[in-house]
Structure 1
Amino acid sequence: MSQKVVTISLSSILLLFIMSGAALASDFRFGKQYADHTYVGPFNISNNKAKQAKSKLASDFSELQSKLEVNLIYQDIQFSLPPEAIKFDIDMTLANATSGEDNPIIAIVSREALQTVLSQELPKIQFSENAIDSIATGIEEELQTGIMPRNVHITDYFGVDEIQTEVIASSEYSIDGISPSLSKAIHALDQSVIGPFESFSMLEVLTSSEVGPLTDEELTLLTSMLYTATLQTNFQIDERNISTAITTDIQAGFEAAMNQTLGLDYKFTNPNKTEFTIQADWSAGAINVSLEGRPLYYTYEPSVTNIETYKPRTVRQYSAFVNDGQVVVSQEGKDGVEAIVKRTLSVDGKVIDTEDVSEDFYAPIHRIEIHPLSNENSSAIENTNSEGADLPQDEETTSDNRTETSNPGEAGNVDEPGIEESTEGEIIYDKSGLPKSGK
């Protein structure tokens, strides 16, 4: 008896629901208006009857179609989806609209047109039928707001197995042995993940308590390897420094110096919508650093396009504590270097663009010689100074030293041959900070 009552009650509720729905549909057919604050995307259909709302949306959708701009983004390439591939369904939009609320625009993306565009723009990627349908559905969801332009990252709408990850950049440095701390640093760097639009700081990773104390030289070596790898991608370099002097371990133009005391860091940002993983290890007498992720569209190839050497000068200092006939070298000289780095972007071996990366300059380190202070050269220097001659700016002197500068192999004259002067008599200095007399 009770079961029948329950059955009848449920049937009655269902019947009332159907009748209410039919009455609601009937109300719109017979002229009931949409309530206040009824929107379809950005378009207001409040206080419009169904026929009026359809006519208004037809005009709004036509204008929207003329302004349609859908940009499809895959990693480092962006291309447009033609407006003809998209159709706005007015009837379906109104059928799903709720009076008094914000409602989505129903758009339909042609799967065939989408597949054609993707195969033309990304010929190396074979999209499955499921991937095409998933991407099309994603675009339709993005178009529900009706706000233009729309930037659609297609990697959001297909599975991780659709495009396999691979090594996209790498760097290698041969070394017979490494310290325990450097070994721990390599292990800490290994498997670091840089998420979409995420920034990465080398100091944060390599100065953790798990790594242990590292020298700035070890930090610089490992960081320069990662910098070399990131130059082979579209990653954005946020902070990068170089040392005051070039090192023989790292090629000029590819150094990323670290200094824990000064807080000099190496930072970069992943501008892609997919994540990348750093792989780092030491084996077979070499440190290897690589970046693994979904392949990029362009191939990035950095190179040193120009390198220029600046010879050091010889700075002579005179001291009463140096015996006659003796010359003490207090600092060996070292060449200065200027390296210009550029990067080419190519597709299938065809260069698309060339961009500037950096201009690194390492000033020369001047050779410093300490000569005996004899009466002859002491009076010569005093006479020269009394005549008002300008000494070069980079001279160094101690309390009991007198200093003069010359090119290697020249006599110790203060006035150097070949110094260029402007019309006002001002001395022109080169990049070494000394008067011009050749490199």
Structure 2
Amino acid sequence: MNRTNMFRFFAILLISTIVLMALSKITSLAMASFSKKEPVFAEGTYIGPINISSLNKAEAESKISENVLDWQKKSTVSFTFFNKTISVPMSVVHFKVASSLNACLDGEKNILYTEVDEQSLKTILFKKLENPELVNLIDLEKVKQLLKEKAGRLDSSQQTEDLVQYLKASDNKPKIIDSKRIFVNDPADMEDWLSSNSTMTLKPEKIFSLNDYIQNLDNDDKGFFIQCASAIYQLTLPTNLQIVERHISDNLPEGIELGYEARVDGSKADLKIYNPNHTAFVIKSEKISNHVLKLSLIGPSDPFTYQLVKKNVKTYAPRKVIQYRPLAETAANQNGKYGYSAELYKQVALNHKVFYESLVSKDFYLPIPKIVVENLKQPESDATSDENSGTENGATEYTANEKTDSASQNTTTGNTPNNEAANPSQTSQNGSSSNQEKPSSSTQNTNQSHGHSTDRNP
């Protein structure tokens, strides 16, 4: 073999070796690349409500980000604070997608981690409430927790929260908020009440019904029930408890202050109160004496103070109704009773500054008319109609002139107070009634028949 051929042989051998080594390297790199392919999440893996099964980390992150962005655009949380409504956009919530994926466990439901921009939240509250003192009362940590939980579920349901329930916790130790004493005519009524209702509880976020407590009592003294219900109603007004149902009588009962009556009867007429708080209120009854019952409202302290103000208080004088009856009939007069109307408002104050006022009720009581009964006088023309027949049986004969003079004196007038003369056009001789005075602020209908007048039944 000559030198040239030997050189060619070694050249071919070298090139072949290099090619084989290169192919081997490329194959090993390809195999290594294939073996290092990013794994995917196992079946049944969730981040929040988002299913990321069979997705790798990059794909899962992209899917979560798209869902979050779409949810933020159309979701808000609304808060009410007395007469104000505050809408908080979900842009104040930041989603920690990468942290959620790093902490993710295969085949399980995992948390979608979020955080709330506190400064942005405070700015929204300041803008809506317009009172730094009110904002400082709000427990921002509770509000942030609510927003984080809603965002973590990507909850798109519309919900409204009462911001009063997110105030900073004050002294939750129960205390006596107020007490009222009522006079009881029959001590037995008090004993019956105390045997069943010495303690009544207004449960958190529940409606309290007074009829549930009184419908099984033995006594049926509606006046006593009205006294107790009115006292309870007056106790709950200067709080954040909400009146759901309340009734009043046709006429203001004796001993009840205008604007504070609550009528209950154990069946239809009820007093219902809603407790929006997370803590209970208690109404405690105790005997002071045989005729005095004390009712106390016990509950948590409140950062606000409540004032009750009556406005547009009016009094309506009773009208006078005269009833004419035949001489043979007798009836007693009826004393009139004044009517009243008033509007009751609740003012809410913080540090002696009123920031909210709402109408509680408009009460109206019609007056009871005063009824005066008078007897009809027999017309003299009827009494002497037969006297001109002659002197039979010793009767005296009157001349036509004498009869005319006698008849001309037969006149009946009514005595009316305040220098008001009776109007003959309003008086009939068949026993009807005449109305002499009508209050301008109210309307009353009086049904009259055969000498009887009937008061209206509103």
TM-score by length of structure 2 reads 0.63
The match for 1:368 among 368, 371, 378 is: 371
Is the 2:170–2:301 Cα contact (8 Å) retained in structure 1? Answer: no
Q: Determine the structure 1 residue equivalent to 2:152.
A: 144
Amino acid at match of 1:195: K
Is the 2:207–2:275 Cα contact (8 Å) retained in structure 1? Answer: yes
1:189 lines up with 2:197 in the alignment: yes
1:320 lines up with 2:326 in the alignment: yes
Tell me how far apart the structure 1 counterparts of residues 36 and 357 of structure 2 sit (CA, whole Å): 61
Is the 1:316–1:406 Cα contact (8 Å) retained in structure 2? Answer: no
Moved more, 219-228 or 97-106: 97-106
Q: Determine the structure 2 residue equivalent to 1:219.
A: 225
The match for 1:61 among 60, 68, 74 is: 68
Kindly state the Cα deviation for residue 233 of structure 1 after the two structures are TM-superposed. Answer: 2.2
Kindly state the Cα deviation for residue 163 of structure 1 after the two structures are TM-superposed. Answer: 3.6
Q: Determine the structure 1 residue equivalent to 2:276.
A: 271
Q: Determine the structure 1 residue equivalent to 2:246.
A: 240
The 1:75–1:191 alpha-carbon spacing in structure 2 relative to 1, beyond 3 Å, is farther
Is the 1:166–1:295 Cα contact (8 Å) retained in structure 2? Answer: yes
Tell me how far apart the structure 1 counterparts of residues 380 and 288 of structure 2 sit (CA, whole Å): 59
Amino acid at match of 2:193: A
Q: Unpaired segments of 5 or more residues in structure 1? A: 1-26, 380-403, 421-427, 435-439
1:344 lines up with 2:347 in the alignment: yes
Tell me how far apart the structure 1 counterparts of residues 208 and 160 of structure 2 sit (CA, whole Å): 25
Q: Determine the structure 2 residue equivalent to 1:254.
A: 260
Tell me how far apart the structure 2 counterparts of residues 347 and 245 of structure 1 sit (CA, whole Å): 37
Kindly state the Cα deviation for residue 45 of structure 1 after the two structures are TM-superposed. Answer: 3.3
The match for 2:48 among 36, 41, 49 is: 41
The 1:303–1:135 alpha-carbon spacing in structure 2 relative to 1, beyond 3 Å, is closer
1:303 lines up with 2:309 in the alignment: yes
Q: For this pair of structures, how many residues does the alignment match?
A: 365
The 1:137–1:265 alpha-carbon spacing in structure 2 relative to 1, beyond 3 Å, is closer
Is the 2:82–2:356 Cα contact (8 Å) retained in structure 1? Answer: no
Matches within 5 A, 1:125-164: 140-148=148-156, 163-164=171-172
Q: Determine the structure 2 residue equivalent to 1:90.
A: 97
Is the 1:316–1:405 Cα contact (8 Å) retained in structure 2? Answer: no
Tell me how far apart the structure 2 counterparts of residues 74 and 58 of structure 1 sit (CA, whole Å): 33
Q: Determine the structure 1 residue equivalent to 2:112.
A: 105
Tell me how far apart the structure 2 counterparts of residues 270 and 240 of structure 1 sit (CA, whole Å): 15
Q: What is the aligned-residue RMSD (CA, Å)?
A: 4.6
The 1:77–1:184 alpha-carbon spacing in structure 2 relative to 1, beyond 3 Å, is farther
TM-score by length of structure 1 reads 0.66
The 1:330–1:105 alpha-carbon spacing in structure 2 relative to 1, beyond 3 Å, is same
Secondary structure, counterpart of 1:251 in structure 2: coil
The 1:290–1:83 alpha-carbon spacing in structure 2 relative to 1, beyond 3 Å, is farther
Secondary structure, counterpart of 1:295 in structure 2: coil
Is the 1:330–1:369 Cα contact (8 Å) retained in structure 2? Answer: yes
Q: Determine the structure 2 residue equivalent to 1:412.
A: 422
Secondary structure, counterpart of 1:219 in structure 2: helix
Is the 1:307–1:337 Cα contact (8 Å) retained in structure 2? Answer: yes
Kindly state the Cα deviation for residue 365 of structure 1 after the two structures are TM-superposed. Answer: 0.7
